[in-house]
Structure 1
């Protein structure tokens, strides 16, 4: 049991009304109202992305039917422990979000759940406790609303999983109409719906799945639409848990969240989104790793130290063809193991390969640098960072999975200015020097350091608060 739960039980034995039964919170006759409220809370579990079986389910069901024969004090304590677990899950998430590297050691703990439960029972405000503990940010509310809709549709008497095989968009495609209804795009399964309306609704579905909105049932669109409602609910529940988990840390400070499947960056603070930027994340062969860390510095006109795999697999073949010309065209320097700059004309490039490459390639700063004019640095073991890029056209794609694992940010400059507002004008002046690259990078410390979470969520609200479903690009939800 959680240590707060142990403390609460000691406190709770001091409560109820005035006799032996007063040591219990839920079973005495005078506690009927709160007991029923607790059961009503548990009954809402599925709509909250939780599992009702996690909260003293057997004891609750026996109490409802009057068949419980166990010791009443023990049962009362079990209900108290279940109540603490339930409200803790509502406030903080059912489990911690999985990340490959945790540089924050973040554990949500911004509310005293045990004490709030005790006080709500003592003050007769138990009916308000759920609303008090739930996050109120628009993203959370949007996901919760979508869960309610999909849960309702999946419980309808005539519900069944639907598979669309035809690419025809007209009233003869009954599975299409059924699926659009299940997804909440149509309000009814009327098989007389006209083609114009159906194409409009297909475009709405394409928007939901981040596709070109042309009203055409292409293979990729069909693949996304054929994912079952049960799977979508699983993705929504996972995302709801994540927003609960993040709620404490974003209450009092700005927090960067990069969602990999969405290829998007969000700067949250409290219940607001301060910035949204399209991003480019790792392709399937070179994935971006989920992690948590802190932005500690902004580097203007950064060098790019080329990762070993990129240097040997992608650049070395081109260098061998014309070493000096290739390196000069890309503005690369060659460094030895001590960091000394070497003359590329003195190196026997033909003798080098993936297993024999005792050099480091470094791209000089400037507007053509692969990192662009700005890099946001944070410690992690994967050499991952946020950075600008000169290749802006890639941001126009809906599916932005092109990088080697780092994260290119379309609005990197605006993000940096929000992180260090006192340096915003200085950053702007440096950006305007793009045609005159600095000889050395300019480092601007970020104080206080800003938490950054790189997460993997298929379901995620966009900056307008609309829930979207993205490609499970790395197959983590399959």
Structure 2
């Protein structure tokens, strides 16, 4: 029994050893295979990462070429060795291509901006040429590219022209932050107002008269709040004191001839004959001056109120002949006189509220009537370089000497 027991013990020990040897060997073989596979996976990841890095750098390079062709300074977007930096640069460039930068001359923005940052992470750089859909922008970009390729960029005059075009191209990109279906664009140097749709079609072109050089019309992004029929002209205090007070003190007939009303602190009209004019001065004038509504009102028969703290608005004028008799379209105190107020009002209101005879009827004893309207975007810009209705490149007079 002892011998047999020893034999059984030896057999068990041998079997156990074989089993242990099998599993140990299997462990080492599996471990080696796993390490080999892991090394292979890491190599594949590294190769893929290098490929993606090269592709990203190539995409950024291609985007830079296109961006430069539409007037964007690409020096800050140059490719580097770091993939994360290239990715961030590509995203920022795509956002600038679509939304531009805030124009430096913008004094007020009354519209909410909307920038889709997520779009830039999904956009295909190879499809950038399809990004621009606004007609004047595409035409201006084509002129920029043509001049850029002319080989005369070292010429000071050409360099200045390209700089002016770049400013306007950026302005058109900036409009995309608001995505308007229709909007009013006043271009001060051109002396023009256009109503555009989102494709760039000019729905209602007209002339305007804006501020003179010492009373510049400010650049702004805003909207039309409402339209006033037969408006009062609430004379700005600086005009009342600097221009009107000396004339009123010399001759009260000036007040009656200009249909002016003198209002006290309670907004009640005061009889000019009962005022001690000798006691009044620029520092002592407890009144407000208002011009009564009617045909002779300086604002004409229609006023387009704009949302802004600068007291700037669009309006008709009692001197409509100026649009034909002079080329000086920069002679107001800052507000913008429009050539076609009836057409503009009807377009904004979305219905033919005023007929062609409205401007000629000039009804008497009318009080101001406010017509509510939807928020209609208005951009007042200073674009010396632009394209006209025919797509021709134009350089307008730098009337405010802002681009010297």
In the superposition, the TM-score normalised over structure 1's length comes to: 0.70
The equivalent position to 1:153 in structure 2, one of 150, 161, 172, is 150
Per the alignment, residue 238 of structure 1 pairs with 167
Distance 2:382 2:133 in 1: 22
Matches within 5 A, 1:177-216: none
Structure 2 stretches of 5 or more lacking a match?
1-42
1:20 CA displacement:
0.6
Separation of aligned partners in 1, 2:301 and 2:243: 23
Distance 1:94 1:439 in 2: 46
Taking the TM superposition and a 5 Å limit, the aligned residue runs for 1:13-412 are: 19-21=44-46, 24=49, 27-28=50-51, 35-57=57-79, 59=80, 75-96=82-103, 98-109=105-116, 112-116=119-123, 120=124, 126-127=125-126, 129-133=127-131, 135-155=132-152, 160-161=155-156, 228-250=157-179, 252-271=180-199, 272-323=201-252, 325-396=253-324, 397-412=326-341
2:397 is the counterpart of 1:471: yes
Deviations 1:259-279 (A, max 9, x none): 222222121221122111211
> 1: CA distance between counterparts of 2:310 and 2:101?
28
Give the match's secondary structure for 2:225. Answer: strand
Cα offset, 1:408, TM superposition: 0.5
Q: 1:458 aligned to 2:384? A: yes
- Matched residues in 2 for 1:108 and 1:360: separation? 44
Secondary structure (helix, strand or coil) at the match of 2:93 reads: helix
Distance 1:112 1:279 in 2: 38
Q: Larger C-alpha radius of gyration, 1 or 2?
A: 2
Contact 1:50 1:94 in 2 (8 A): no
Q: What is the CA deviation profile of residues 15-73 of structure 1, one whole-angstrom value per residue up to 9, with x for unaligned ones?
A: xxx9314764xx41x7866754542331343321012212134x2xxxxxxxxxx5xxx
Three-state SS of the structure 2 residue aligned to 1:262 is coil
Give the whole-Å Cα distance in 1 for the aligned partners of 2:360 and 2:64.
60
Partners of 2:184 and 2:216 in 1: CA distance:
19
**Does the 8 Å CA contact 1:461/1:468 hold for their aligned counterparts?**
yes
Match of 1:427 in 2: 354
d(CA) in 2 for partners of 1:113 and 1:308? 49
Distance 2:390 2:176 in 1: 19
How far does the alpha carbon of each residue in 1:265-298 deviate from its partner, in whole angstroms, 9 at most, with x for none?
1212211221112111111111111122221100
User: Given the alignment, which residue of 356, 369, 372 partners 1:445?
Assistant: 372
Partners of 1:98 and 1:22 in 2: CA distance: 49
Count of residues in Structure 1 that have an aligned counterpart in Structure 2: 360
Question: Is the 2:152–2:158 contact (alpha carbons within 8 Å) kept by the matching residues of 1?
Answer: no
**Distance of 1:258 and 1:110 partners within structure 2:** 29
User: 3-state SS of the aligned residue for 1:383?
Assistant: coil
- Give, in whole Å, the separation in 2 of the partners of 1:429 and 1:53: 54
Q: Deviations over 1:192-222 (max 9, x none)?
A: xxxxxxxxxxxxxxxxxxxxxxxxxxxxxxx
- Checking the alignment, whether the CA contact within 8 Å between 1:297 and 1:443 is kept in structure 2 is yes
Partner of 2:91, secondary structure, is helix
Change (3 A) 1:435 1:39: closer
Aligned to 2:343: 414
How far apart are residue 438 of structure 1 and its match?
4.5
Give distance in 2, aligned partners of 1:22 and 1:472.
Answer: 56
What SS is found at the alignment partner of 1:309? helix
Distance 1:391 1:155, change over 3 A: same
Label 1:419 to 1:287 Cα distance change in 2 as closer, same or farther (>3 A): same
- Is 2:56–2:83's contact at 8 Å kept on the other side of the alignment? no
> What is the RMSD of the two structures over their aligned residues, measured on CA atoms?
2.4
Shift of 1:393: 2.7
Please, what TM-score do these two structures have when normalized by structure 2?
A: 0.82
* Counterpart contact for 2:218–2:334, Cα < 8 Å: yes
